[in-house]
Amino acid sequence: MAHTLGFESYTDLAYLERRRFDYTQQDAANFRRQIKEIVTPAVAAIRERQRQLLGVDKLRYYDEALIFPEGNADPEGTMEELVEKALNMYQEMSPETGEFFEFMVKYHLFDLETRPGKRMGGYMTSFPGYKAPFIFSNFNGTSADVDVLTHEAGHAFQGYLAMRSIPVRMLAGSTSEINEIHSMTMEHFAYPWMESFFGKNCDKYLTAHLIGALAVIPYMCVVDEFQHRMYEKPDMDAHERRRVWREIEKEYMPWRDYDGEPFLEEGGFWMQKQHIFLYPFYYIDYALAQMCAFQYYGRMKTDRPKAWADYLRLCRAGGTRGYFELLEVGDLLNPFRDGAVAASVGHVIEEIKERY
């Protein structure tokens, strides 16, 4: 595709396809470097602490999801009860979220339960003719169900607001660097209500959620760097591709231990990342957005009303401006600026140290 259209590589084309007009491949590389310097050592320390807590000689890749030896926190209640709890939460959170979630419940704008034959995954979409968001997911009884009611509901809340404040439909949403800020920040705004979902295991959920949000960032950078390397040399064979994956993985995720499984040891793990196949170069957007969500989370700790006002302004602005301009609208540090990664994650790393 890229050669036919006169581009040197698919990467150049993909950046345009993703409407990245504000930053370049070099900026992305500079961002990943900061993650490697700041987040990778912090996550390595968490993984070591996890190894001690689980009481294993080495932390294998299949241990990583288990944050507490006695098991991670699961939400309490049926699907209907969880939706009811979410309704209470959004009513208490703000008048805007209350109105939004009452609308969602009134018009049954969910398909949450897992059924035979239903497609997997979770996402938010919208029916613009009705100014109605819609949430699709597959509940499975784990904390991921609550994440749907905060993350996908964050997307839905933004859609609900923007469809009412922006007359041009295509401008209601932005690119994913911004859209994922809407959803990831809502996960943090929801923290004070997590006791109603997790009861006595609330602290465990909060700790695991923060660790999850931080620990996945180096992996996102592996996915991003891998794709840049792949499209730089598109004629690599399958073995070379796996070798490159494993080499990058060792830089960003030195703790990763495949327990001698030969296919994964030689780099096969990249094939389970559907974004590489379906949404090339998307994945780094989650890391960029999480930096901004962490900034809002830090602000919630010191000045929640300002954090909420800034967030609301960003949501209402939809995609009416470019990426960097929208960051200014939301009073957010540009994650590409030197020092921005440290400023975004510093308080999160400290909080995890206190909790875990």
Number of residues that bind Zn ion (CB under 5 A): 1
* 38 versus 216: smaller Cβ distance to Zn ion: 216
Q: Phi, psi (5° rounding) for residue 88? A: -60, -45
CB of 176 to Zn ion, least distance (A): 8
Q: Which residues pair with 127 in a beta bridge?
A: 132
* Two tokens, residue 154: 């964050």
* 143 versus 183: smaller Cβ distance to Zn ion: 183
- Region of 17-25, 66-74, 179-187, 255-263 interacting with Zn ion (CB under 5 A): 179-187
* 59 versus 124: smaller Cβ distance to Zn ion: 124
CB of 279 to Zn ion, least distance (A): 12
End-to-end CA separation in angstroms for the chain: 48
- Report how far residue 291's alpha carbon sits from residue 163's, in angstroms, rounded to the nearest whole number: 26
50 binds Zn ion (CB under 5 A): no
* 191 versus 279: smaller Cβ distance to Zn ion: 279
- Region of 127-135, 182-190, 251-259, 263-271 interacting with Zn ion (CB under 5 A): 182-190
137 binds Zn ion (CB under 5 A): no
Q: Which of 34, 126, 183, 185 binds Zn ion (CB under 5 A)?
A: 183
In residues, how long is the chain? 356
CB of 137 to Zn ion, least distance (A): 11
Amino acid, res. 20: R
* 150 versus 183: smaller Cβ distance to Zn ion: 183
3-state secondary structure at position 111: strand
Residue nearest to Zn ion (CB): 183
Alpha helices by DSSP H, the chain: 10-17, 25-54, 79-93, 95-106, 143-147, 153-165, 176-189, 194-198, 202-232, 238-252, 262-265, 274-278, 284-302, 304-317, 323-329, 340-355
CB of 180 to Zn ion, least distance (A): 5
* 148 versus 248: smaller Cβ distance to Zn ion: 148
- Region of 23-31, 69-77, 93-101, 175-183 interacting with Zn ion (CB under 5 A): 175-183
Residues 6+ apart with CB under 8 A from 31: 284, 287, 288, 335, 336, 341
295 binds Zn ion (CB under 5 A): no
CB of 96 to Zn ion, least distance (A): 19
Residues 6+ apart with CB under 8 A from 81: none
3-state secondary structure at position 87: helix
* 175 versus 183: smaller Cβ distance to Zn ion: 183
* 183 versus 295: smaller Cβ distance to Zn ion: 183
CB of 173 to Zn ion, least distance (A): 11
Burial of 3 (0-12, 13-18, 19+ CB in 10 A): exposed
CB of 317 to Zn ion, least distance (A): 18
Q: What residues make contact with Zn ion under the rule CB under 5 A? A: 183
